Amino acid sequence: LYTLGINAFADLSTEEFVATHTGSRPHSPSRIKSGGDLTTTSFRFENLTDIPLYKDWRDYGAVTPIKDQGDCVYIGSCWAFAPVAAVEGLHQIKTGNLISLSEQELLDCVENDHCDGGIMTDSYDFIHKNHGILTEEEYPYNATTGQCKTKTLEGERVRIKGFEYVPSNNEDALLKAVTKQPVVVRVDSSRFEHYKTGIYNGECGTELDHEVTLIGYGSELKMVTIIGW
């Protein structure tokens, strides 16, 4: 069960909350169908059968402390935070080294995606084509869109080979994916505006306006997510 109450967003109207703390733009049908330039041609975990009853990537040290996207007006920067959390987790799974990565680099450098919202696949595109993403320490977050500093900063970069869409409306496929790594999903954030404690078990909305990182699951498909506010 979960409870609602006075929280950090209680003094905001619903319109103000959506304007400053969401940020996921709708993905175009053509792009989803084609999967973008870097997606694989098939779901790689389709034939996975060894699925544990419980998984929480925090238990494996693959999740950084909760981050706050702040008042990144007008819409928000979840499109950067959620993919960064997924890449942080995957890097730790592959190397054993958990590194906090730079959302600000994406906010400053991804074309057309800034504090007025964006598309998470653009984040993956940038990380791949830019030969990696810098660390949070090297390129810290300031909740505003500024000049891209990628070419002027030197430091450790975490790289990816590509990304892949999990088949939509398929809980079994999502479960398989989260068994192997953290996964970015889109949600209707309106139900969480006044969230206070507990496991949310209410109805899910259909206006997908926020991207979060799915980091685990338990009994009855209870999912564990990171919501970067």
The pLDDT tens digits for 75-115 are 678 899 999 999 999 999 999 999 999 999 999 999 876 78
Q: Is 117 helix (H, G, I), strand (E, B) or coil?
A: strand
**Residue 183 DSSP code:** E
CB 224 within 8 A of CB 62: no
Q: Distance between CA 158 and CA 156 in Å, rounded? A: 7
39-50 CB burial, b ≥16 within 10 A, e <16:
beeebebeeeee
> CATH classification of 2-25+44-226 is 3.90.70.10, yes or no?
yes
Reported pTM: 0.85
Query: What was the pLDDT predicted at 194?
Result: 77
Query: What was the pLDDT predicted at 204?
Result: 80
* Closest listed residue to residue 167, CA positions, set 48, 13, 23, 21: 48
Which residue positions in the chain have pLDDT lower than 50? 28-37
Query: What was the pLDDT predicted at 25?
Result: 56
